[in-house]
Amino acid sequence: MKKLIFIIAVVAMCFLSLRPQTAKANNFAGGEIFYEWISDSTYRFFVVVYRDCAGSTLPSTMPLCFKNPCNASQNFSATMALWTGSIPGGGTNGGTMPVGCSQYKTNCDSPASALQGFQRTWYYANVTLPSRCNAWRAFTYASNRSVSANLLNSTSKPFYLECRFNNVGTFQGNSSPYFSISGAVYAPTIQPFSYNAGAIDPNGDSIVTEVINPMTDVTACSDTGGVNIGFVTVSPALSIPANPFQTNNTFTINSATGNTTFTANIVGKHVYTIRVKEYRGGVLVGSVMRDVITNVMSYSATAPIYTLNTAAITGGTWDGNKINGCTNQTIGFNFYVKSADPSAILVLSDNHTFTLPSATVTYNNQRKDSVRGFVTVFPSINDTGTKNIIITTKDSTCKPPGLQLYYTFSIPIKIWARTRAVDDTAICLGASALLNINTGGGNYTWSVLSGGSPVTTLSCTTCVAPLASPTNTTRYVVTSSATNSICPNQSKDTVQVTVNPAYPPTIGSNDTAICYGEWLQLNVTNGVSPVWSVAQGSKYSLSCTPCVNPIARPNTTTKYVVTSITNYCKNNIDTVTVRVIPIKTEVPLVSIYASPGTELLKGMNVTFRSIVRRCDSSTIQWYVNGIYLAGASYDTLSIPAFVSDGDVISCYLTCYDPCAKVTTVQSNKLRMSIAVLTGVGEIEQNQIKIYPNPNNGTFNINAHVNNNGILPLEILNTLGQVVYLDKISVTNNEVNQQVKLELPDGMYIIKLDGYMYKFSVAH
């Protein structure tokens, strides 16, 4: 966009007034807020305020507040200083704006004058935003407004303006719309009047203008946002948008052009707000606000009549609402503005320099009661979209009270770009291509221009983006009926979809795994001129890339991709993932133990169990005296009747964990023994005495042992089952213990200090 320093030097902007931010100041009549992009995340914000000359003096600064709904912690504020650059229309910042003929004074020049005057002041601040968000809000405020005939208790209501904007992605370098026509309006009573703020978007985006309530109730940057100001009570009731001030519901606004028309009924200073929204590709980019001051006076004026000569349009057409034309095609038309007052002095000007720079506008018969304008446009590709040439008609007749009334008329022009479809493309047989329109036209129809595939290979024919699924190379044509009658040479375009045979490659192995340090040969079938690449993992682990069977030496898990590069077929790829498993250096361990123990009675059952460590997947092979026990490959070995004294039991562990460095290990060895039992009778052997024997379940144990502390005592039946288990105390290597048992009659075995003895129970 042109920098606003340049824009404000040439565009006729609004009148402004300011007030100091004191509790009782009442000079803020209206104003506007907008911004321009400087670079990266830096923007220049402007606030323009209208001051009626009955109020207080001007403040030297204005607050500028920022809200970030994407990250509330980044809400912040800045201070706006007085703008030191040039002012639109000349004059000084904060100076009085002329509103009529020089011989008539306003209350800015003479406080006793009945003619309301305004002063203008600009504020600005350069701000660098800390982050990106799609809904930034910047706003300003002041303590009170000036007197307004339509707003309820306006002098006690804070003044408020806001703009919203998106600085995400391509919207980062966007500048807001701005206003090219004054926002301080003078209108007569009981006569039709028209006004247009002349909103222009410097980026060529689409803009929509709407009427909203003036807003208030913000007195600090910490406040959440403005609320609507209420209206005074009149009949008919004031409302948005048909009657923002008393026009007897004659107020209308054209959202596309921004043009308003009304017939004012009540003398006084009225304020309403227009909001201009900016769209790009159907996405809302942001919005700006202007509080418009309409100063209605009892004044006899004859509104001029504007007429567009639609029958004389060349190089374009009139559709009842706008002129339609095409790029690189000259458009010509004329219009005239005529007053019913033969003494009227009409002076016409326009904003085409900014809204449509390729246009040339000339006027005949300026300063007469009838002026004709001639427009010639040779639009370039930079002029596409809807443009509004706003004709401002100034009546300089200078009748009392000395106003020069301004009337605005809008000429909407839609410049259609050449219809251009997407570029030619290629697909594999069986695939589809999405066709689309890049620029230009509307109301599209797709058909087959040449090739073997019928029109039924299109998913739709009267849409913007059909899906084409031809079986052989086909050329499609799109026609824009919206521009076919205006510029037939620019309303069509073609797209060729080349259909190539499909040669998808196939990798000859599924996903696999190797140990660290190993290599693997990959291979591919089908495909043409395959090229291998690494999608993720070991980047330089292939022995070759444009080959069929590369050797892969990855050191981490790696995903390989092979692409068939011929025929430009999409998705002509296959993939394989090679998982790399680290070498397992820990040696597996296995140990065994016997239950009930390694010293048994002849004929007792015994169970051997293995304990495996450092291995997740394994098998066990049992050995007796070094001889493999066929069929015994579980972690538990049960031998029903162990009969041989001195047998040695062991096992071998085979570990199947991937990449285990050692896979086979031997366990510890258990040597089994048959215990020697004494006969029935009092036992006194190895310094141990058991008496009486036989007994009725109660007997004594006296022993001299080699241990002190606690000694286990077990009593088993003849099947080797433990029927009594206790712990006895040993003091000075002596055991003196009486045992009382409730056992059935029979033979039993007592096990103490590694020896076994037989005793009998008889009742």
Indicate whether 291 pLDDT > 50.
yes
C-alpha 45: how far from chain center: 26
**Matching CATH number, 420-500, of 2.170.150.70, 2.60.40.1080, 3.10.20.740, 1.10.10.410:** 2.60.40.1080
Grouping H, G, I as helix, E, B as strand and the rest as coil, residue 170 is helix
Around 39, how many Cα atoms within 13 Å sit in the side-chain half-sphere? 0
- Where do you find CATH 2.60.40.1080 in the chain? 420-500
pLDDT attached to residue 571: 61
Indicate whether 510 pLDDT > 80.
yes
Q: Across all residues in the chain, what is the average pLDDT? A: 86
Task: Give me the amino acid identity at 405.
Answer: L
Task: Give me the amino acid identity at 21.
Answer: Q
Q: Which two tokens stand for residue 51?
A: 């001051």
Can you give the pTM of this predicted structure?
Answer: 0.58
Question: Could you read off the pLDDT of 95-104 as tens digits, one per residue?
Answer: 877 666 667 7
pLDDT attached to residue 16: 31
- Where do you find CATH 2.60.40.10 in the chain? 305-416, 589-674
Helix boundaries (H) for 291-432: 352-355
Specify the range with the lowest mean pLDDT, choosing from 546-550, 563-567, 590-594, 749-753. Answer: 563-567
Report the C-alpha gap between 16 and 93 in whole angstroms.
9
Count other Cβ atoms within 10 Å, centred on residue 620.
21
Question: Could you read off the pLDDT of 66-97 as tens digits, one per residue?
Answer: 999 999 999 999 999 999 988 766 778 888 77
Closest by Cα among 702, 723, 704, 703 to 714 = 723
Domain 589-674 matching CATH 3.30.565.10: the answer reads no
Indicate whether 679 pLDDT > 60.
no
Question: Could you read off the pLDDT of 447-488 as tens digits, one per residue?
Answer: 998 877 888 899 999 999 999 999 999 999 999 988 888 888
Dihedral, CA of residue 675, residue 681, residue 686 and residue 687, to nearest 10: 150
Q: Which two tokens stand for residue 457?
A: 């290979």
CA distances from 110 to 20, 185, 593 (A): 22, 20, 117
pLDDT band at 762 (very low <50, low <70, confident <90, very high): confident
Count other Cβ atoms within 10 Å, centred on residue 569.
23
Indicate whether 345 pLDDT > 70.
yes
Indicate whether 681 pLDDT > 60.
no
Grouping H, G, I as helix, E, B as strand and the rest as coil, residue 114 is coil
Count other Cβ atoms within 10 Å, centred on residue 176.
29
- For 508, counting Cβ atoms within 10 Å of its Cβ (0-12 exposed, 13-18 middle, 19+ buried), the class is middle
pLDDT attached to residue 455: 87
Report the C-alpha gap between 179 and 33 in whole angstroms.
10
DSSP H/E element including 624: strand 618-624
Closest by Cα among 265, 258, 267, 263 to 292 = 258
Any residues with CB less than 8 A from the CB of 150 and at least 6 apart, and which?
231, 232, 238, 244, 245, 246, 268, 270, 271, 272
Any residues with CB less than 8 A from the CB of 39 and at least 6 apart, and which?
none
Q: Which two tokens stand for residue 18?
A: 């300011």
For a pLDDT cut of 90, what percent of the chain falls above it?
Answer: 50
pLDDT attached to residue 452: 74
Rounded mean pLDDT of 153-164? Answer: 94
pLDDT attached to residue 309: 96
Q: DSSP states of 187-235 as a string?
A: EEBTSEEEEE--EE-TT--EEEEEEE--EE---STTS---EEPPBP--S
pLDDT attached to residue 566: 62
pLDDT band at 525 (very low <50, low <70, confident <90, very high): confident
- The CATH code of the domain at 305-416 is 2.60.40.10
pLDDT attached to residue 26: 56
Rounded mean pLDDT of 658-672? Answer: 91
pLDDT band at 355 (very low <50, low <70, confident <90, very high): confident
- Where do you find CATH 2.60.40.3080 in the chain? 683-761
- Of these ranges, 215-219, 450-454, 604-608, the one predicted with the greatest mean pLDDT is 215-219
pLDDT band at 677 (very low <50, low <70, confident <90, very high): low
Q: How many residues does the chain have?
A: 763
Question: Could you read off the pLDDT of 47-62 as tens digits, one per residue?
Answer: 999 888 877 777 899 9
pLDDT attached to residue 754: 67
pLDDT attached to residue 637: 84
CB distance 576 to 544 below 8 Å:
no
Any residues with CB less than 8 A from the CB of 105 and at least 6 apart, and which?
113, 115
Indicate whether 680 pLDDT > 50.
no
Provide the 8-state DSSP code for 587. Answer: P
Rounded mean pLDDT of 126-133? Answer: 96
Strand partners, 574: 562
Indicate whether 643 pLDDT > 70.
no
Cα Rg of the chain (Å, integer): 50
CB distance 688 to 755 below 8 Å:
yes
Question: Could you read off the pLDDT of 366-418 as tens digits, one per residue?
Answer: 999 999 999 999 998 888 888 899 999 988 877 777 777 788 899 999 999 89
pLDDT attached to residue 210: 97
Indicate whether 716 pLDDT > 60.
yes
For a pLDDT cut of 70, what percent of the chain falls above it?
Answer: 91
Tokens 């005529």 appear where?
338
The pair phi, psi for residue 488, each rounded to 5°, is -60, -25
- The CATH code of the domain at 683-761 is 2.60.40.3080
